[in-house]
Amino acid sequence: MDSAESVEFLDHFKESQYSPYRFFTSDEWAKFRADTPLTLSADEVNRLRSLNDPIDLEEVRRIYLSLSRLLSAHVESSQLLFQQRSSFLNFKADVKTPFIIGIAGSVAVGKSTTARILKELLARWPSSPKVDLITTDGFLHPNAYLKANGMMDRKGFPESYDIGTILRFLSAIKAGRPNVKAPCYSHLVYDVIPDEFITIDRPDILIFEGINVLQSRDLPADGKMVPIVSDFFDFSIYIDADEELIHTWYVERFMRLRETAFRDPSSYFHRYASIGADEALKIAEGLWANTNLKNLHQNILPTRPRADLILQKGKDHLVEKVALRKL
């Protein structure tokens, strides 16, 4: 799907009588916040947003308070259904089933900011739920494995992840098991950290964020069950933007990192801090064209129609349109 097709996606399906989505402008969406209180401060939003992401308190009011209210309704409905099913089966559950939210989208589109903002908003509901956030970075195969299998230039593609470990992690979370471990990843050294883990202990809500979390797989010929990551999600969000905008954001972020994090001698990309701006720009463009753009076309963008909610951003990195899947 090329750039022109991408930017027309929401408009195309809005015109179709068969669309599974309802569509809203950002102003229309903002009205759904109702009396949802704003529980974040401007300083907190500044701390939560990623590099090169200009989200501010007004964007939280316009987009994320309505989303928080919607998710609250989904969580309450899920809990009620769980109670009703327990009654139907005539058993009393001794563990709670966490509500899992998946967040997908391209690199540099703002997934991490969305995930962190949502985590803070959801944790401040009156019921004070326990909300945890995990990214898929820790589930990447280590660089040594990727190099041995000739896959370093496909890091971030579906095959670069340890899918078995992801499925076991989400299965344990959904089963309500205590102290489930997730591997840690360092963006500084660009690798999984050996023998280091994050422990997730029976959250009420888990946000699971990553570029390919809505990825499907081929169906087995023998009809045996083959779970996919999104099977464990109760709600899914896709962060969308025109391809050329994502391209610009990716390159701008790379060039800013060259002036900041890449200057750390421990950084995997430290070598890029000492080269000229023109050469660095050429490298950034190459990384985009040869890895990230291919991954977007082949794997990430095709999963967009599987999301429950699509947030489409404009050139200022702020959400302009919202698509919500019909019930």
- Residue 272 CB contacts under 8 Å (≥ 6 apart), including other chains: 258, 262, 280, 283
Alpha-carbon torsion (107, 113, 116, 122), positive or negative? negative
Q: Is the pLDDT of residue 54 over 60?
A: yes
Q: Is the pLDDT of residue 41 over 80?
A: yes
Q: Is the pLDDT of residue 50 over 90?
A: no
d(CA 156, CA 227): 20
Instruction: Spell out the domain ranges in the chain.
Output: 3-325
Structure tokens at 186: 């360092």
What pLDDT band is residue 319 in, cutting at 50, 70 and 90? Answer: very high
Q: Determine the average pLDDT of the residues in 26-50.
A: 94
What pLDDT band is residue 37 in, cutting at 50, 70 and 90? Answer: very high
Other Cβ atoms less than 10 A from the Cβ of 25: the count is 11
Q: Provide the whole-model pTM.
A: 0.93
Q: Is the pLDDT of residue 7 over 50?
A: no
Tens-digit pLDDT profile for residues 179-206: 999 999 999 999 999 999 999 999 999 9
CA 11 to chain centre: 23
Q: Determine the average pLDDT of the residues in 274-290.
A: 96
Structure tokens at 203: 């959250």
Q: Is the pLDDT of residue 1 over 60?
A: no
Task: Identify whether the C-beta of residue 295 lies closer than 8 Å to the C-beta of residue 224.
Answer: no
d(CA 190, CA 269): 8
pLDDT for the residue 15: 52
Tens-digit pLDDT profile for residues 117-126: 999 999 999 9
Domain 3-325 has CATH 3.10.620.30: no
Q: Percentage of the chain surpassing pLDDT 70?
A: 94
Q: Determine the average pLDDT of the residues in 285-309.
A: 97
What pLDDT band is residue 14 in, cutting at 50, 70 and 90? Answer: low
